[in-house]
Structures are given as structure tokens and as C-alpha cells.
């Protein structure tokens, strides 16, 4: 009996990609139920690319997402094989789509499943709606996650310093009163830009990789993004300092040694937050942005700190990690993610 995986294509590509990879080898072919907008935006192709399927080779049923009659007619008229069994991922689509598709497939030889957003498991809605959730063992790396959102990228491949050297620079920066101008004493002029900020990105890369026990493919730095379908959507902010994946969530970090030469500059910090929030919108519901800095946010007034927390919530910034966090011997990124 032929086995067919049916996926509903929607703005959120990760639930479909997870099930496609998780059930790989358990189905003979796939069918996408999509809409004109999803096809125009390239969502189906993004999923195929991320799943290492040749773009355009998956059969598609393109429906009007708000027209029950159209959906039912398209499903009925599709050339389904006889005596097939189906796994139907009902996670995506409009309410009309999910209800119409559920009604069509809720019959013997079908299993209808659902992936709760933000959870690494799936639930069976039919026929065993009271069954236990099934864990998803698949873990996406940075490349797979970004490709699933139509984004390719380049990354930094060579670091100037080892982690042990960077830890000494971190300590020296503190001992010199967090003064960047004193940090590159004894180095030739061409090292000035490195000590202005690049060393901190390298330090955080090594720190996070070790702290969270990440594989090489799960964390990248010096990331330059390129949106394959809509170049304009990223044309203003195409660089990210650090990107990593953990448990199928994406984390993007903007690393700033200082935010202002001496005191923290409020306007500059807000500008960084707005940029990060704008870029984060490209990565779906399972993406989390952070600002990490050696500046001291607690040196400003209580009103400033209250306003900062409010702006962070509005912009979706998970946390401003500052020197008070990083100087804590017990600090771990596990505490905040």
C-alpha cells in the first residue's frame, strides 16, 4: 500500500519541515495543499530546499483558502491512488482549510496530525485523538532553518583569536574600566577595528557554543543574509553577529561591546533594538532576538530601565544581556533561553 504525506503550506514553514524530516522513509511520496499566495511567495520551494527535495517536484493542490467548496472540489478531483494510506499534517492553513481538509481525510487509512507551535512533538487528531503526543527527534541546524524561510547566507570562517586569548581580552577590558581606546595598546593600527567590536563577537561565539554544547552547524557568526525570493525585505539590515539553533528554535544576537564611548546612549540602544526586531520578522514564530553588550544598563535611571523593558516587549526583544550578566561567574545562556 502506498503511503502519502500531505502537508498544508502556510506562513509557518517549520512545522511542515519538521514532520517531513521526522517521517522521512515512512512515506513514498508527498502532496502539498497550498494557496496562490503561498506559491507566489515561494513557501513550498523553501520547504523543499530545506528538506533536500528538488524544488517544484512535489505535487501541489492549490486552493482558495477561504472557499470550502473550492477546497473540497480540488481534493475530490485530485488523482489520489487507490488503496493508499495518508499522514496529514494539519498544522498550517486557515480555519476553513483545516476544517475542510480534516473532513475530507477523516476516514480509514488516514492519520491526521498536528504540531503545536513551539513544541518538539506532534499530536494525533484522527483516529486516536486521545493518544499521547509523539516526540519529534529531528533537530534543525542554522542552514536548514534559514533555508526554510527563503534565506541563504555567508558566514565568518576564520577567527583572529582563540577562546583562551579572547577570555584574556575580556578580563583586560574590565580591568581597563571598559575603555575601548585602551584595549588595543601595543597593537598596530590595523587592529583597532578588531578591538572596537569584532573580538567580542568571537568571544560570544566560543562562549555560547561551549555553554550550550552546540554542534558546528548549529551556530554561525558574521552572518550576511540574502533573501532568495524577496531581496527588498532584507536590504536595509543584512548582517547579524551571531545566529544559532537549539531545540528547533532560532536565536539571533546583536553583539555590542559598548553602546556609546563612555556612558550608554539611549538612542543608539533603541536603534539597535529596532534593527534586530525588523530582521527577526523574517524568521517565523520560533525565533528569538537578544542584544548582548558590555555596557551597563543599570547605570541609567529607573525610568530608563522601565522604558527599556517596555520597548523590548513591544519589539519582541527577549532580553538585553549586559555586563552585569556576563560578569556573573554563574551566568549561562541556558538561564535565559
pLDDT at 228: 65
* Tens-place pLDDT, residues 60-78: 999 999 999 999 999 999 9
pLDDT at 98: 96
C-alpha cell at 212: 550550550
Q: Which of 80, 113, 138 is the last residue of a domain?
A: 138
pLDDT at 231: 44
Q: Which of 138, 171, 188 is the last residue of a domain?
A: 138
- Does the pLDDT value for residue 298 go beyond 70? yes
- Does the pLDDT value for residue 235 go beyond 60? no
pLDDT at 183: 84
Comparison of pLDDT for 47 and 282, the residue scoring more: 47
Total domains in the chain come to 2
**8 Å CB contact between 74 and 61:** yes
- Please tell me whether residues 265 and 157 are part of one structural domain: yes
pLDDT at 1: 86
Q: Round to whole Å and give the CA distance between 322 and 320.
A: 6
- Please tell me whether residues 20 and 94 are part of one structural domain: yes
pLDDT at 232: 43
- Please tell me whether residues 197 and 281 are part of one structural domain: yes
Label residue 54 by pLDDT band (50, 70, 90).
very high
pLDDT at 193: 86
Q: Which of 87, 104, 138 is the last residue of a domain?
A: 138
What is the rounded end-to-end Cα distance, in angstroms, of the chain? 44
Average pLDDT over residues 227-241: 62
Q: What share of the chain is helix, strand, coil (3-state, %, to 5)?
A: 40, 20, 35
Domain CATH number, residue 177: 3.40.1350.10
- What's the whole-number average pLDDT of the chain? 93
- Domain ranges, residue 49: 3-138
* Tens-place pLDDT, residues 301-312: 889 899 999 999
If you count DSSP H runs as helices and E runs as strands, how many of each does the chain have, helices first? Answer: 12, 13
Strand residues in 161-317 grouped as ranges (E) = 219-227, 239-246, 249-256, 287-293
Q: Is the four-CA dihedral 134, 135, 138, 140 of positive or negative sign?
A: positive
Average pLDDT over residues 85-98: 96
Domain CATH number, residue 72: 3.40.50.10770
- Please tell me whether residues 171 and 306 are part of one structural domain: yes
Q: Round to whole Å and give the CA distance between 85 and 255.
A: 50
- Please tell me whether residues 163 and 110 are part of one structural domain: no
Amino acid at each position: 500500500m502506498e503511503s502519502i504525506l500531505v502537508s498544508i503550506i502556510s506562513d509557518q514553514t517549520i512545522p511542515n519541515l519538521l514532520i517531513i524530516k521526522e517521517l522521512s522513509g515512512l512515506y513514498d511520496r508527498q502532496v502539498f495543499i497550498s494557496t496562490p499566495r503561498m506559491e507566489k511567495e515561494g513557501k513550498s520551494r523553501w520547504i523543499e530546499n530545506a528538506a533536500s527535495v528538488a524544488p517544484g517536484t512535489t505535487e501541489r493542490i492549490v486552493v482558495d483558502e477561504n472557499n470550502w467548496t473550492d477546497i473540497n472540489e480540488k481534493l475530490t478531483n485530485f488523482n489520489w491512488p487507490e488503496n493508499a494510506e495518508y499522514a496529514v499534517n494539519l498544522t498550517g492553513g486557515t480555519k476553513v482549510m483545516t476544517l475542510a481538509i480534516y473532513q475530507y481525510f477523516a476516514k480509514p487509512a488516514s492519520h491526521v496530525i498536528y504540531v503545536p507551535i513551539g513544541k518538539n512533538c506532534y499530536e494525533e487528531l484522527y483516529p486516536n485523538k486521545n493518544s499521547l503526543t509523539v516526540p519529534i527527534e529531528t533537530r534543525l541546524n542554522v542552514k536548514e532553518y534559514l533555508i526554510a524561510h527563503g534565506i541563504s547566507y555567508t558566514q565568518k570562517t576564520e577567527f583572529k583569536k582563540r577562546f583562551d586569548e579572547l577570555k584574556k581580552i575580556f578580563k583586560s577590558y574590565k580591568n581597563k574600566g571598559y575603555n575601548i581606546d585602551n584595549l588595543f595598546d601595543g597593537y598596530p593600527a590595523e587592529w583597532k577595528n578588531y578591538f572596537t567590536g569584532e573580538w567580542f563577537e568571537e568571544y560570544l561565539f566560543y562562549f555560547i557554543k561551549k555553554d550550550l554544547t552546540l554542534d558546528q552547524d548549529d551556530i554561525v557568526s558574521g552572518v550576511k543574509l540574502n533573501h532568495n525570493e524577496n531581496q527588498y525585505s532584507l536590504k536595509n539590515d543584512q548582517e547579524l553577529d551571531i545566529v544559532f539553533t537549539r531545540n528547533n528554535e532560532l536565536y539571533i544576537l546583536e553583539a555590542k561591546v559598548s553602546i556609546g564611548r563612555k556612558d550608554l546612549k539611549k538612542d543608539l540602544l533603541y536603534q539597535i533594538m529596532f534593527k534586530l526586531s525588523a530582521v527577526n520578522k523574517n524568521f517565523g514564530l520560533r525565533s528569538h532576538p537578544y542584544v548582548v553588550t558590555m555596557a551597563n544598563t543599570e547605570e541609567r535611571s529607573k525610568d530608563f530601565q522601565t522604558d527599556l523593558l517596555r520597548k523590548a516587549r513591544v519589539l519582541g526583544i527577549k532580553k538585553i544581556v549586559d555586563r552585569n550578566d556576563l560578569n556573573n561567574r554563574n551566568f549561562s545562556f541556558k538561564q535565559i533561553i
